[in-house]
Amino acid sequence: MSNPIDYDAPRRPAVEVEGDSLEELKARGAASQSARVDLDEAEAAENFELPGADLSGEELTVAVVPMQSDEFRCARCFLVHHRSQLGARPDGREVCQECS
């Protein structure tokens, strides 16, 4: 059976790290850095526009239909449901099946 692995231990022993020269450390650090520039995500999102996304001149018209006699408004979620969705009536309030 092998010894358990300590994942918090340094990958290289401290003796090997101390033996590295300054030039080797600089070369290793330069190789690990990428040439790409990190952009601020918020700044990138501000400058990005979808085609046809400007809807400021549009007007939305929706026909509002009053609640019908075979419908009820749920006392918990406040959505209008058909009477077939009527669940329990705690305290005389109408509640849909999803909320009961």
Express each pLDDT in 23-69 by its tens digit. Answer: 777 777 666 555 555 567 777 777 777 777 777 888 889 998 999 99
pLDDT at res. 26: 76
The count of domains in the chain is: 1
Question: Is 5 within the bounds of a domain?
Answer: no
Question: Is 19 within the bounds of a domain?
Answer: no
66 to 25, 55, 71, 73: CA distances (angstroms): 75, 28, 10, 12
Residue 95: pLDDT above 90?
yes
Neighbours of 76 (CB within 10 A): 14
Domain that holds residue 91: 67-99
Contact 32, 41 (CB under 8 A): no
Question: Is 47 within the bounds of a domain?
Answer: no
CATH number of the domain within which 76 lies? 3.30.60
pLDDT at res. 56: 82
Question: Is 23 within the bounds of a domain?
Answer: no
